[in-house]
Structure 1
């Protein structure tokens, strides 16, 4: 047998090397679990720079619950809600916190946004501790401060309830002042307003100072027909992103629930959040903590969705197209369906 020449020998070696490499690749592929190519993927979350969502995300990262669930979160701060919404639509972030009303409205106009409940904490109508007002009917002719503008969901629901229960048109028969939450809070403290409807954390601060709740947005919604508290705000992301990164979404939602469980039970976890919360005193700190805990959703997605559809129909009647956009019913797909339980 004639020994191969140098060129032929080189070709034989190359063929043997390629064959070994192919076998190694097959063995490796058999041992790699599906999805491991995206091990601990990163989800970019847009948040208001000083918003309360930061509390939960800080607690999540501090406890390492994101990494434990198999995802890494990158918190991207924004100065306002509009900026975070634009960033989500532009693809600069993967997720934000917003409300189902906006999600449904965007879906009606062709945007593939979807929603997972985050919190049932909503605004409350607050009065001074010594205020003679005991019901909405007692506010007739009084001055009311409203954060969020004339189309704020809680304000519309409270107006509808006042008309239904007491025959009072709060918008027409009262002096209504719309403004920024901090400004309205200060006016209420100084006694320039008889009542103030403010976002939940501003209402909690007033409560810690001795104000009392005349009615909350949640209570108004239940009085108008929902069977329980509805999560007004939630995690919002694109269907397209979820389809490409289903494992990352599942891991984040697992971390989210683990963080909520931690904050529901651990005072130590809250103590670590004190610098972020900027509570003026211990009473304010504990009130903020307790109201946050009360807002942790504990109902099934099906129950949430049913009540949201009912609430959407009511808001559509009250606020019209200016509020809900072109659709009079909650758009299909507004609530995220992970394909496992129809939620």
Structure 2
């Protein structure tokens, strides 16, 4: 009889094969298999990493495996089909609370924002009363929950109750905003950057809400996620990967030419490319992991209070070890 783990592994491999990914070979100390979305922003960093051979320079061979959706990458990593994925610390904490050993190394602090047209009369969060708001990511999106929490605490507003909230896929939400069918939209950071280049402005960012709700600095929304056991058994591989990632980020932080090279992958040019470049750079993590973990713990309690069991399960506190305790040195 085939075990559930083996069933998940085979399903994950099948999903990757459909997308024409690289073949997945047996795990080796020098090989790191990362699963990412085909058109996600992570691919910008990984393309830079591969283009400049930062993986080889750090003693690893990075195998990028493309998937159609986030759920597929999660299943593949849990099943052992790949070594690393990119996801958020809420998911990691919930897995650990349920007995898993996944952990997270910060990837990006870039977060979404509520966007309105430059000419919109909406100037503060209180002006959203009675307005039609488009939200990407669903009702339990953590940026949406954080902004709700801030509106309740500081203004006594229950945004879902006083506004007409509609949920949709990020591209659709942005398109409806451009067409004027929505008064305001909360979208993922890169869609917000594209909207900025199209004549929109930020009303309030999830990063603003984070700081107002107790974070002392930027907190990574996403991280590179892997099993503690895998990292312990392959210390050179995880250190090599994180060093290569840091080198790619450093290049993207200083080189405008690198962004011009990436333009076809980013699918932007001119002012839109510049806005995406600048917002990406702002999201490069700069704080010690321990500081990010402490602030994430504070925000977790806020999110647990508003999102409840649907969001965090039965754990009122962020699970210990959610943020990786290892060192890249």
Q: How does 1:45-64 map to 2 (within 5 A)?
A: 45-64=34-53
Q: Give the CA deviation at 1:39.
A: 9.0
Say whether the 8 Å CA contact 2:107–2:284 is kept in structure 1. Answer: yes
Q: 1:126 to 1:250 in 2, by over 3 A?
A: same
Q: Give the CA deviation at 1:340.
A: 7.8
Q: Provide the C-alpha distance between the structure 2 equivalents of 1:40 and 1:243, rounded to a whole number of angstroms.
A: 11
Highest CA radius of gyration, 1 or 2?
Answer: 1
Q: Provide the C-alpha distance between the structure 2 equivalents of 1:176 and 1:318, rounded to a whole number of angstroms.
A: 17
Q: Give the CA deviation at 1:240.
A: 1.2
Could you tell me which residue of structure 2 aligns to residue 159 of structure 1? 148
Match status 1:318 vs 2:323: no
Say whether the 8 Å CA contact 2:29–2:234 is kept in structure 1. Answer: no
2:170 to 181, 199, 218: 181
Q: Give the CA deviation at 1:223.
A: 1.1
Q: Give the CA deviation at 1:269.
A: 1.4
Q: Give the CA deviation at 1:339.
A: 5.9
Match status 1:309 vs 2:297: yes
Could you tell me which residue of structure 1 aligns to residue 276 of structure 2? 288
Give the aligned CA root-mean-square deviation in angstroms: 1.4
Q: Give the CA deviation at 1:123.
A: 1.0
Say whether the 8 Å CA contact 1:126–1:195 is kept in structure 2. Answer: yes
The TM-score normalised by the length of structure 1 is 0.86
Q: Give the CA deviation at 1:254.
A: 0.7
Q: Give the CA deviation at 1:40.
A: 7.1
Match status 1:198 vs 2:187: yes
For structure 1, list consecutive stretches of 5 or more residues without a partner in the other structure: 1-37
1:260 to 239, 249, 252: 249
Match status 1:245 vs 2:238: no
Could you tell me which residue of structure 1 aligns to residue 324 of structure 2? 336
Q: Give the CA deviation at 1:167.
A: 1.9
Q: Which runs of 4+ in 1 moved over 4 A?
A: none
Say whether the 8 Å CA contact 1:39–1:70 is kept in structure 2. Answer: no
Q: Give the CA deviation at 1:187.
A: 0.4
Which deviations, in whole Å up to 9, do the C-alpha atoms of 1:211-233 show, x marking residues without a partner? 00001111111111111110010
Give the number of aligned pairs.
303
2:92 is paired with a residue of what secondary structure? helix
Could you tell me which residue of structure 2 aligns to residue 221 of structure 1? 210
Which deviations, in whole Å up to 9, do the C-alpha atoms of 1:5-41 show, x marking residues without a partner? xxxxxxxxxxxxxxxxxxxxxxxxxxxxxxxxx9971
Say whether the 8 Å CA contact 1:40–1:70 is kept in structure 2. Answer: no
Q: Give the CA deviation at 1:278.
A: 0.6
For structure 2, list consecutive stretches of 5 or more residues without a partner in the other structure: 1-26
2:123 to 108, 127, 134: 134
Q: Provide the C-alpha distance between the structure 2 equivalents of 1:181 and 1:296, rounded to a whole number of angstroms.
A: 22
Could you tell me which residue of structure 2 aligns to residue 66 of structure 1? 55
Q: Provide the C-alpha distance between the structure 2 equivalents of 1:256 and 1:225, rounded to a whole number of angstroms.
A: 29
Which deviations, in whole Å up to 9, do the C-alpha atoms of 1:305-339 show, x marking residues without a partner? 11011111111111111111121111111111226
Q: Provide the C-alpha distance between the structure 1 equivalents of 2:318 and 2:156, rounded to a whole number of angstroms.
A: 29
The TM-score normalised by the length of structure 2 is 0.90
